[in-house]
């Protein structure tokens, strides 16, 4: 079992969650059960799956949870694009968030690669 709280990829994911929550708090109220909720759930899914996977007994199991986490990160990137196109996010905030999400994707992918080389 790994201490997920020490993983930089998990720490970065938590930072993304906080940024997404703050950035989406001013979305239109009619989006609270739509895009706002979807974005927040996808953001929370990223570090949550990293944490859950780290508690598994094998690198293969951990890798499956990292795959899910990576999928959620791509889902979140898509939702950020939609929010920007709907003008719920400024171009500056959008750019900042997408950069962070893409960095998270790279970190997860790197961890996945390292697990596969250890198999």
DSSP assignment of 57-79 equals: SSHHHHHHHHHHHHHHHHHHHHH
Phi-psi region of 14 (alpha: psi -120 to 50; beta: other; left: phi over 0): alpha
Report percent pLDDT > 70 for the chain: 97
What is the chain's mean pLDDT, rounded? 95
- In tens, the pLDDT along 41-88 reads 999 999 999 999 999 888 999 999 999 999 999 999 999 999 999 999
Please report, for the domain that includes residue 35, its CATH number.
1.20.1440.60
* 14-30 pLDDT per residue, tens: 999 999 999 999 999 99
- Quote the CA–CA distance of 76 and 61 in Å, as a whole number: 23
Q: Is the pLDDT of residue 1 over 60?
A: no
Q: Structurally, how many domains does the chain consist of?
A: 1
Confidence of residue 2 (pLDDT cuts 50, 70, 90): confident
Give residue 116's pLDDT.
81
* Domain around 10: 4-117
């Amino acid at each position: 079992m790994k201490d997920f709280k020490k993983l930089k990829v998990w720490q970065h994911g938590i930072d993304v969650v906080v940024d997404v929550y703050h950035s989406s708090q001013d979305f239109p109220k009619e989006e609270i059960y739509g895009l706002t909720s979807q974005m927040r759930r996808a953001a929370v899914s990223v570090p949550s799956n990293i944490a859950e996977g780290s508690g598994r007994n094998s690198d293969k199991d951990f890798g499956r949870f990292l795959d899910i986490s990576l999928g959620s990160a791509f889902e979140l990137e898509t939702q950020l694009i939609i929010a920007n196109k709907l003008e719920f996010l400024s171009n500056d905030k959008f750019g900042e968030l997408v950069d962070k999400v893409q960095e998270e994707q790279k970190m997860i992918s790197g961890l996945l690669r390292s697990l596969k080389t250890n198999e």
